Amino acid sequence: DGGITQSPKYLFRKEGQNVTLSCEQNLNHDAMYWYRQDPGQGLRLIYYSQIVNDFQKGDIAEGYSVSREKKESFPLTVTSAQKNPTAFYLCASSPTGSRYNSPLHFGNGTRLTVT
């Protein structure tokens, strides 16, 4: 089945450590996105990429970094500079790029807890 795989489902880290969240898709989609979701809140855009080797900052990019070396993969690194990293992180993709009106396909998220 085609879809988006996020791993791991749960991740625990100590404060001050960088951590990388994995996102892989086999839908052959051009665009990929990272969102953050806090309890009782909607999704906030961290970074997005419309094509390999290119990405743009979203609304809350500070303390995060990404890479897009392959079409299928869009890993997110949560750095020690992120003040409140504990959250539910969602990866998504869309088939024709963010300038078009295609719905997003989501993975099932990674819940990161930093103590």
Partner 1 sequence: EDQVTQSPEALRLQEGESSSLNCSYTVSGLRGLFWYRQDPGKGPEFLFTLYSAGEEKEKERLKATLTKKESFLHITAPKPEDSATYLCAVHNTNAGKSTFGDGTTLTVKP
Residues near partner 1 (CB under 8 A): 4, 6, 33, 35, 40-45, 48, 50, 56, 58, 90, 92, 97-101, 103-109, 111
Question: Rounded to the nearest whole angstrom, what is the least distance from the CB of residue 78 to partner 1 in the complex?
Answer: 18
Name the pairing type of β-strands 64-66 and 54-57: unpaired
In eight-state DSSP terms, residue 35 is E
Amino acid at 110: T
Query: Which of 16, 42 has the CB closer to partner 1?
Result: 42
Report how far residue 105's alpha carbon sits from residue 56's, in angstroms, rounded to the nearest whole number: 19
**Least distance in Å: CB of 16 to partner 1?**
27
Q: How far is the CB of 100 from partner 1 (least distance, A)?
A: 7
Q: Are 26 and 3 in contact (CB under 8 A)?
A: yes
